[in-house]
Amino acid sequence: MSSFATPEFLPFALDPIASHTGRVVVFNDADTPLPRAAKRADKLTRGAVARAVASAAFGKLKPGQGLVLNWPAGMQAEALQIIRLPRKPQPAELRKAGLSIGKAATESATLICLDALPPAQLVQAALLRAYQYQAQKSQPKPPFGAFQIMVKEADAASDACTGALARARAVHLTRDLVNAPANVLTTESFAAQIRDMAALGLEITILDEPALEQAGLRALLAVGQGSASPSKLAILHWKGAEGAPLAVVGKGVMFDTGGISLKPAAGMEEMTMDMGGAAVTVGLMQALAERRARANVVGLVGLVENMPDGTAQRPGDVVRSMKGDTIEVINTDAEGRLVLADVLWYAQQNFKPRAIIDLATLTGAIIIALGHDKAGVFSNDDALAAQFLRAAESVGEGAWRMPLGAAYDKQIDSRIADMKNTGGRPAGAITAAQFLQRFVEPDTPWMHLDIAGVALTKSDSAHAPKGASGWGVLALDALIVAEFESG
C-alpha cells in the first residue's frame, strides 16, 4: 500500500509552534482577531503573520486557501502556512483547508494548530491530497511526514477521526489498485489480495472458472477466454446488520485491449484503470469493515482480462448470460457490460438485495457528456438516485443524473439474439446503462455509476493529485451512513 502515516493527536500547546522544525499550519480569517496559535506565530515572527493576514493577497483567498512563509524568522519551522478559515467553517471549507495542507506536505512533519476547530473533514482531506504512488519506482521519494494535530481535546479528536482515517485508508487502497500496472495486479493477485481482507472480518468467497461455468456466468467468461489470466468472481460480505443487504458490483477488467476489436495504441496504457469499479468496491468494503459499519453490504467484483488471443471471442459471436438472455457481440471492446450483466444477476439471485449499485469505467461516451468532473448516474429509482446525489455532494465528489428510457432499447435490439452489446455511438453511455437494466429485476432499486471520466485524471482532481482518484468510496460510504446503516 502507498505510504500512509496515521496522524498524531496532541494536546494544544503554544511552545511547539516555536520549536517545531517541519511545517507549521495556523488559521485565521481576514479582518478578524488572530486566534491564539496565529497570535503566538505572529509574536515569534515579529508581526509577519498580522502583516500577511492584512495583505491584499490574503484578502483575495477563498476559505481553505493559504499563504506560505518559508523559513520564518523567529521560528525553527521550515515553513509557516497561514490558511484562511472562518471561526465556524462549513464542511466544504474544512475539506479545502485540508487539501491545501496535504498538497503542501513534504517529508517533514506538519504541525497543524487546529485548537478547537473540528478535525475530521480537514484531516481526511489532508491525507487524501498528500497521497503519492511510488510502488514501481526503483528510487522512491521519501514519504510525506506525519501530520501532528494539536487540538483542544486530543482523545476526543482522535475518536472523532476514526471513520475519517478508515475512509482515507480505503481511498488510498483504491488508488493503489487503479494505479498498479496490469502485469503486477492480475486477476489472480487481485483475488489473493481480496482473500487476505478476511482478516478485517469480511466474509470472502472467490469463484474460479469451473465454478463460474457451473453457475452459468458465460457472458463474463466469454470476455476473459482470450487471456492467460483466469477469470474470477470475488465476493466480500460485511454483515454489520440484519436484513437484506445492499449489493455493490464492480467491473474488474484488469486490462482492456479491446479484444479482437482492438483499441488504438495511443492511450491504451491507461487501460490498467479499467478495473476502477472493482477497486472502488473493494476500497468501500475495507472502509465498512474498518469502521465497523452497522450495515449489511455485499461487494461483488468480476475479474477478467480482455485480450486478442486466438481463443478470444469475436464480433458476431452470441453468448448466453446467466439470466438466460442471449447477447450478440457486436464489438468486443464493449466487454464491461457483459461482465456486469452476469454479476448483477448473480448478486440478485444469491443475495436478494434491498438495492443494487454497480460501478464501472464503462464508456468513453460519458467523458464526452460530462468530462472528468462528474460521474454519470443512471437509476430506475428516483429516491435512490437522489440519496446518492446528496451523499456525493456532501463529500465533494461530482455526480450527475443521466436519463434512461425505453426509446433507447431499439438501439440494442439484435436481429439474431435477444440483444446486442452496443448500440453504436449515439447516446453510448445511455444505451450501455439500458443494456445493464435488462439484468435488473423490475422491483429491485438499482443504480449504475459510469466512472470512466473520474477514475483516472490527467490533472489534479477534487481530492487527489493526477492519476487514480479513488472517486466513489467517499460518496458510497456517505450514502450507506445516511440510508443503509441501522441505529
Q: Catalytic residue positions?
A: 263, 337
CA distance 287 to 162: 11
